[in-house]
Structure 1
Amino acid sequence: MINLSVNINKIATLRNARGGNVPNVENVAVDCERFGANGITVHPRPDERHIRRADVYALRPLIRTEFNIEGYPTADFMTLVLQVKPTQVTLVPDAPDALTSTAGWEVAPNMEFLTGIVTRLQDAGIRTSIFVSTDVENIRQAAKTGTDRVELYTEPYAQLYPTDPERAVAPFVTAAEAAHNAGLGVNAGHDLSLENLKYFKDHVHHLLEVSIGHQLISDALYLGLEQTIKAYKECLK
C-alpha cells in the first residue's frame, strides 16, 4: 500500500484568515489519521502565513503515523526540525516568499550544501527526501548526497494529464525507475488529485508515498474530510 500523507497547510491558511483557532489544526491532523491517512505533512514558511512554528511543536506529540516536514533548510528551519525530529524532512528549494513549490532542486550545483544537510538530518535519525523534477541525471546526483528518498514534483503531470495522460506520466515512469535503480525511495506530490492519482499510481512503480494538500482539502469542502481521505486511499490500492 502506498502511503497517503495529508498536507494540512490549507487548514492553517483558513484559520489564519480570521485569527483565533478555527479550524483547529491539531484536531484536523488527528482526524486525518483517524480517517485513514498514513501521515501528516506541513510546510512551515518563514512568514508563517499558514503553518506556524508553534503548530509544528504542538503537532509532534499528537501524530501517531508519519510526520513529514517540508521546507528550505535555513538555519531556523534546521533548528526546528532537529528539535522536533519528524519521521521525514523533505528538502525543497523554495525562496522564502514563494507562493508554492514550483520546481525541484538542481542537485549538482548544490551538492555540498545538500550533502551536509542530509548528513545532519540522518545523524539525528530523520529520514530525508529531496524534491526533484524527472531529470534522470539530476536524480542520480541526488543519490550521491546520501538522501533516503526523492519526491517527484508532479505539477507537470497534473497539467498535461487531462489532454494526454500517457505522455504526462511517461517521464515519471522513467524517473521512478532511475531513482529505484539508484537505491532511492520514491515519493511524489503537487497537484495530484482524485482525477489523476489512480492513473499515476498504476503506471509509476516503486512509489512509497504521495503528499497531497490543496487538492485534497478542496475536495473535502464537497465530500467531507473523512470521505475524501477514503477516496484518495482507494485510488492508491
Structure 2
Amino acid sequence: MTKPLPLRLGVNIDHVATLRNARGGRRPDPVRAALAAIEAGADGITAHLREDRRHIRDEDMVRLKAEISKPLNFEMAATPDMVEIALATRPHAVCLVPERREELTTEGGLDVAGQHNALAPVIARFNDAGVRVSLFIAADVRQIEIAAKLRAPVIELHTGAWCDAIEDGDTAKAASEWQRIVKGAALAKSAGLEVHAGHGLDYATAETIAALPEIMELNIGYYMIGEALFVGLGETVRAMRAAMVRGRGLLTASA
C-alpha cells in the first residue's frame, strides 16, 4: 500500500498574545513564540485576528508575515474588514471561522451551507490572490459537500466536541463524535478536499487522529501554550510532534 504522507503541525500562538495583553505591554512576544515553535519543528504558525483584537493584533500579523520562515495561517471571520486585512497581509493561507464577540473560543464550525452566497465571493477573491482558503467546519455531510462546491481547497474539521466528550468521560458521545470525524474526513478526501483538523486537541487526541490517513495537518494552540508554561514551548512542540508520529506510525504499521 502507499506509504502515508507526513502529518504537518501548525502551532497557534494566539494565547501568547492573550497573556501579553493582560498587562498591555509587549511581552511575551507572540512572534518570538512563533520563531521558537518553528525552531522546535512546527511546520507553520496559526494566528486568529479577531474583530475585537482580544489577543492577536494587526501589527502581530504584519510581523509574523515578515519574520517567520514557515507558512502563516491567518484565522479570521469572513467580514469585509478582515478580508481586506488578509489580502494586504498575503499569508500562505486563511482559515475562515465563525466568530461571536461574547464567545470565549470558537464554539462550532462555520455554517457554509447557510452562508454559501456570502462566502462564495470571499473564497473567490482569495483564490484569485493565490491565498489558500480553509473552511473550519463540523464533520457534517452537508457542510463538507457545500465546502467542495465553494471551491475552497481545504477544510479543517472541528474536533472540539470529540475532545470535550473525552475530557468529560462521556464515552458514548466520544465514540459517536469520533465516527463523525472518521466518516467526514473520508468524504472530504473523496470530494477532492485537503483535510486538516483542530480545536481542543492534546497529546492523546492528536496521536489518535494522526492515524487517519486523510488528515494532512493539525492546528493546535491552547493546550500547547498551557503545557509550555511548565516545560517550555520547544519541548511542547517536540512532544506534540512525537505524539503525531506515533499516531502516524500506527497507520504505517497497518499499511
TM-score above 0.5, yes or no: yes
**What is the TM-score of this pair, normalised by structure 1?**
0.95
- Equivalent pairs counted in the alignment come to 236
Which residue does 2:160 correspond to in 1? Answer: 155
Q: CA deviation at 1:167?
A: 3.9
Shift of 1:36: 0.6
Match of 2:139, SS state, is coil
Hey, what's the Cα distance between the residues in 2 that align with 1:4 and 1:49?
Answer: 24
> 1:91-106 alignment to 2 at 5 Å?
91-106=96-111
> What is the aligned partner in structure 2 of residue 118 from structure 1?
123
Alignment partners' CA distance in 2, 1:97 and 1:58: 27
The 8 Å contact of residues 204 and 243 in structure 2, kept in 1 or not, is answered as no
Correspondences of 1:36-51 after superposition (within 5 Å): 36-51=41-56
Q: Is 2:178 the partner of 1:169? A: yes
Q: Is contact 1:155–1:192 with CA below 8 Å preserved after alignment?
A: yes
CA distance, structure 1, for counterparts of residue 222 and residue 235 of structure 2: 16
Q: Distance in 1 between matches of 2:113 and 2:164?
A: 27
Deviations 1:19-59 (A, max 9, x none): 22111122111111111110100001122110001111111
- State the alpha-carbon separation in 1 of the partners of residues 213 and 205 from structure 2: 15
The equivalent of 1:77 in structure 2 is 82
In the alignment, the residues of structure 2 paired with residue 74 and residue 167 of structure 1 have an alpha-carbon distance, to the nearest angstrom, of 33
1:188-227: per-residue Cα shift (whole Å, max 9, x none)?
Answer: 110000132101212x331111111100111111221111
Deviation at 1:96, TM superposition (A): 3.6
Structure 2 alignment gaps of length 5 or more: 1-5, 246-255
- CA displacement, residues 109-150 of structure 1 (integer Å, 9 cap, x when unaligned): 211111111100011110001111011122011111000111
Q: Provide the residue aligned with 1:185 in structure 2.
A: 194
Tell me the residue number matched to 1:107. 112
Give the Cα separation in 2 of the matches to 1:153 and 1:231.
Answer: 22
Higher mean alpha-carbon deviation, 24-33 vs 6-15, is at 24-33
What is the TM-score when the length of structure 2 is the normalising length? Answer: 0.89
**Does 1:63 pair with 2:68?**
yes
Cα distance in 1 for partners of 2:63, 2:218 equals: 24
d(CA) in 1 for partners of 2:208, 2:96: 26
> Is the contact made by 1:191 and 1:215 (CA closer than 8 Å) also made in structure 2?
yes
Give the drift of 1:166. Answer: 4.2
Between 160-169 and 208-217, the greater mean CA deviation after superposition: 160-169
Superposition CA RMSD, Å: 1.3
Aligned to 2:223: 215
Q: Does 1:234 align with 2:239?
A: no
Q: Which amino acid aligns with 2:235?
A: Q
Residue 249 of structure 2 corresponds to: none
Instruction: Tell me the CA shift for residue 95 of structure 1.
Output: 2.1
The one-letter amino acid paired with 1:51 is I
- Give the CA deviation at 1:93: 1.6
Cα drift, residue 160 of structure 1: 2.2
For residues 168 and 196 of structure 1, the distance between their equivalents in structure 2, rounded to whole angstroms, comes to 12
> Is 1:92–1:131's contact at 8 Å kept on the other side of the alignment?
yes
2-side partners of 1:107 and 1:226: how far apart?
A: 36
Asked if the contact 1:161–1:168 (Cα under 8 Å) also holds between the matched residues in 2, the reply is: no
